[in-house]
A and B are shown apart, each in its own frame.
Chain A
Amino acid sequence: VTAVRAPWRRIALCGLLVVGTLGLSACNGATDAEKRLREAIRNTEKLSNTFLYTETVHDKAGDHETDVRGLVEDDFRYKARVAEDGKPVLDEVVSDDALAVRFLDPAQMSRFLRKPVKANQGGSGVGGNGNGNSQGLTTPGSAGNLGGAGATPGEPSAAELLATRRWVLDPAGAPSTFATANTDQTLGDDPIADARDAFAYVERAINEAVRVVEFNPESLEYRKDEDPFPTPAPHSGVTRYDFERPNLPKASQTGGGANQVTPDTRHFRKMSVYVKDKRVIKVMEKIDVESRLKDLAEIYDTKFPADRSKAELAAIAVEALNVIRTGQGQDPIRMRDMEFSLKDLGTDVKVDMPTDTTKGSLALLQNRGRPADAANGVLEAAAVRAQAAARPGG
C-alpha cells in the first residue's frame, strides 16, 4: 500500500509546488500591471483632453443617470456641461480664478447649493483653502429673499440670475482644485468635481484593490459571467487592466475600535481601465452588490426575500449597510455604474469664458465662490431652498 501511495504523494507535492510557483509569478505580473497602469495615469493626467463622465446610480427609486461632458485645457482651465437623465442642467467654465456658471434647468439648482453646515468652504485658493479660512460654523438663520444675501442693492443677485438661465461670472469663485481635508466632498455631491477628480479616484481604487491584473480571458481565474465590461477589440492596441476586489469582511471583524467593520465600496467594486499608447482612454466601474448578495447573507446570517429581484435586494442591502456606515461616520456606499472616457488627448484645446455674463458671487453653490463670501453664500442658498419649498409642488 505504501509503495502505491508514494507516487501519488509525489505528484500531489509537485502539483502544489507548481501552483505555488504560478501564484508567485502572478504576484509579479500584478505588480508590473499596476506599475504600467500608474504610469499610464501619470502620462494621461498631464494632457489636455475632452471627456465624458457618466454615472448611473441605482437605488430603491430606480436608476438615475448623470453625464458630465467637457474639455480640459489644464488643471485650472476647463469647461463642463452636466446633464441629468439626458437633460442638460448646468454649464460651468473655469479659467484660473474665474468661474462662470449658468443653469439650463434652474429647477435642478438645489443639488448644487451650498450646504448649510460649514461656511468655511469657498472655492479658489491655489489648491484648496489653505487652512486658515475658518469662519466658523454658520447657521442660515433667517433666510432673506433672493435679492438679499450677497447682492448689491438694486441689482439682481446671483440666485436670481441663475434662476433665469443667465451666466453668472464670479471673478474669484473657481472651485477648490481638489478635495482637501477642508472640503466636504462626498462622491455624487458635485459631478463636475467627480469627473475632474477621476484619476485620483482610480488611484485610490488601485490602492484599495487586492491587485491589478492585465485582462486575460484565458486566465484560470477569469470568469466571463462575472465580467461586466467589454473586451478590447482584437488588434486595437488597447490593454485592459482589471482590479481584483477584496473579500467581504467577516461579521466578527473589528477595526482599530470597537465598531464592526462594515463592507466598503472596495468590496463591491469592479473596475477596468483601458489603456492605449500608454495613455488611459477609458475607465469603467461597477459597484456590484448583486454578485455578493449570497456572501452578505452568509456573513450576516440573514435571508433575503425570495420574491424580489436581485437588483431590488441589492438596493435594500446597500440601504441597510449605509445606515450602519453613516452611523459610524463613514461615507455611504454609492451603488453605481461609472464610465469615464477621454478623447483628443494632448490636442490644442482652449477654454474661453462666455461673453454674455453678469458678475456676481457664486458662493451660494457648494465649493464655489470666494471663501470670504461663504457665509453670505449659505444665506443665499437657504433663501433659494426656502423659495423652492414654498412653490406649489416644491
Chain B
Amino acid sequence: VTAQRLRCFGAVVAAALALAGCARSGASVAPTPGKAVKTLEIGNLPPDLLGLKLAPENVSDDLAKVPAAFIDALSLYSLRHNDLVMATLQVSRFNAGADVNAEKFRQTVVNQIGASAPRTVRLGASTVYLTTGTKQSIAVWFKDRYLFVLATRADYDEPRTLLRKALEIRP
C-alpha cells in the first residue's frame, strides 16, 4: 500500500511538471521525455529529518509513462517513522526550457499540485505554497532551478517544523 501511494504521488507531480509547460511562452528548448529524466543526486542530505528516516524511492517506472516533462532530474524520498511513511519529499530540477523565475510559470506548477487552491506563506526568507491532498498537507517551494514538494500525512504532529527543516536542504 505504501509503495502504491508513493508511486501514485510521484506520478501526480510528474504529470504536473509535464503540464507546467503550458505556461511557458516561446521556449526554445524541447521538453524532456519522461524516460530521459535522471535521478537527482543531492549531496549532504541528512540521514533523517526531525527523526524521520530519509530514504530514496524509485519512481522511474512512473516517470517513464510521462511523454514530456519540464524537468531533467528528479528524486523522491520517503520520510518514515519506523516503517510508516509520514511524509514524502520530491526534489526536481527544471530543464533549460522552463522559465522558472517567471511567477506565471511557478503559479501554473503550483496550481496543478494538490486538491485545494494554494495559499502563499512566508517562512523566514522562503515563500512556500500550501495546498492539501487526500489526507495530506502539501508544501511547495522553489529554490534556484529546483522544485521541492513536501507531502505530509494529515495526522502527523509536526508538519510545520518538518517543513522548516526541509527548507534548509540545498541541492
Contacts and interface: CB of A to CB of B under 8 A. Distances in A.
A is bound by B: yes
Interface of A: 45-46, 74-76, 96-97, 124-133, 171-172, 174, 177-178, 180-181, 370-372
B78 interface: no
A96 B161 contact: yes
A128 B124 contact: no
A372 B155 contact: yes
Q: Which of B122, B137, B139, B160 has the most CB of A within 10 A?
A: B160
A141 to B, nearest CB: 24
Contacts of A133: 135, 154-155
A74 B123 CA distance: 5
Interface string B149-168: 00010110111110110000
26 contacts: A74-B122, A74-B123, A75-B123, A76-B123, A76-B160, A96-B161, A97-B159, A97-B161, A124-B157, A124-B159, A124-B160, A125-B137, A125-B154, A126-B138, A127-B119, A128-B137, A131-B154, A132-B136, A172-B157, A172-B158, A174-B160, A177-B119, A177-B121, A178-B119, A180-B116, A371-B155
B121 A75 contact: yes
B55 to A, nearest CB: 22
Contacts of A124: 157, 159-160
A219 B42 CA distance: 60
A124 B133 CA distance: 15
Q: What 7 pairs between A and B have smallest CB-CB spacing?
A: A132-B135, A127-B130, A130-B154, A172-B157, A126-B137, A75-B121, A96-B160
A45 B121 CA distance: 9
B90 to A, nearest CB: 15
A46 B128 CA distance: 11
A133 B136 CA distance: 9
B107 interface: no
Interface in B61-104: none
Interface in B104-131: 115-116, 119, 121-124, 127, 130-131
Give chain A's interface secondary structure class. loop
A126 B138 CA distance: 7
Nearest to B126: A74
A97 B159 CA distance: 7
Nearest to A372: B155
Nearest to A181: B116
B8 to A, nearest CB: 15
Given A127-B119, A131-B115, A132-B135, A177 B130 contact: yes
Most buried by B among A125, A128, A180: A125
Given A133-B154, A177-B130, A371-B155, 15 more contacts: A74-B123, A76-B160, A96-B158, A126-B130, A126-B138, A126-B159, A127-B119, A127-B137, A128-B130, A128-B137, A129-B154, A130-B154, A132-B136, A172-B157, A174-B160
A130 B127 CA distance: 20
Contact of A128 (B127, B132, B135, B158): B132
A360 to B, nearest CB: 15
B160 A130 contact: no
B102 to A, nearest CB: 16
Given A125-B154, A180-B116, A371-B155, A75 B122 contact: yes
Contact of A125 (B124, B127, B159, B164): B159
Contacts of B28: none
Contacts of A132: 134-136, 154
B158 A97 contact: yes
B160 A131 contact: no
Most buried by A among B123, B139, B155: B155
A178 B132 CA distance: 12
B115 to A, nearest CB: 7
A255 B136 CA distance: 36
B161 A130 contact: no
Nearest to B152: A126
Contacts of B133: 130-131
